[in-house]
Amino acid sequence: MLQHPFTRLPPSEQKKVSLILILCSIAVMAVLTVLGEPLHTQNAPLGIVSFELAKTPVKARQMIAEWGATGQIIAAFHLGLDYLFLLLYSSALALGCALIVDKTAQRRSLYDVAGIVLSWSQFGAAGLDSIENAALMNLLSGAQWSGWPGLAWCCACVKFLIVCAGLCYIVAGITFMLIKKAVQ
């Protein structure tokens, strides 16, 4: 039988761990947001996200040049801290999907299977985020391979898709539970 990654964690502990992961994710996201503010420039209006989605060496180099030495140090630190964030957000989303599966479970429904798959997939998103960060670090360090921006872009796009799907699943599950509770 297909199971989510937190099956062996007691339900009472799942809720505690989920809360800790959510709070830690929010805290690190807040630090990343403040830290990344100087990276919002004309060529990188979304800061580090623009860099993740640069896709071409020309665009990536324009951003790096515009950031200057200080901005490049900030970007490198931001990417380093993102390794902690990717562990936190992926675990929080994976556990969130698992909690929804456990709360709405009708066993073997398509919705349950989707939740289990999305729960496991969040760790894939973290792996893609890690590869993306490594590609961007290579760009910042002056690596000349023209494939780095494309690799980062591809990883970022798939990562965002998986993360958004997980978030949508969680929101849909919470909405379903609230409607069910209101009707009863």
Question: Could you report the per-residue pLDDT of 156-182, keeping only the tens digit for each?
Answer: 999 999 999 999 999 999 998 899 889
Which residues contact residue 76 at a Cβ distance below 8 angstroms, ignoring those fewer than 6 apart?
A: 137, 140
Name the residue range of residue 64's domain. Answer: 11-183
Cα angle 143, 133, 80 (rounded to 5 degrees) comes to: 105
Domain-located, residue 178: yes
In this predicted structure, what is the pLDDT of residue 107? 64
Q: In the predicted model, is pLDDT for residue 75 greater than 70?
A: yes
Domain-located, residue 103: yes
Burial grade of 150 (CB within 10 A; 0-12, 13-18, 19 or more): middle
In this predicted structure, what is the pLDDT of residue 181? 86
67-72 — which CB contacts under 8 Å span 24+ positions?
Answer: 67/38, 67/39, 67/41, 70/38, 71/38, 71/39, 71/41, 72/140
| Domain tally, the chain | 1
pLDDT in tens, 86-114: 999 999 999 999 999 988 876 668 889 99
Which residues contact residue 119 at a Cβ distance below 8 angstroms, ignoring those fewer than 6 apart?
A: 4, 5, 6, 94, 95, 97, 98, 101, 166
Domain-located, residue 134: yes
pTM of the entire structure? Answer: 0.93
Which tokens is 7 given? 């099956």
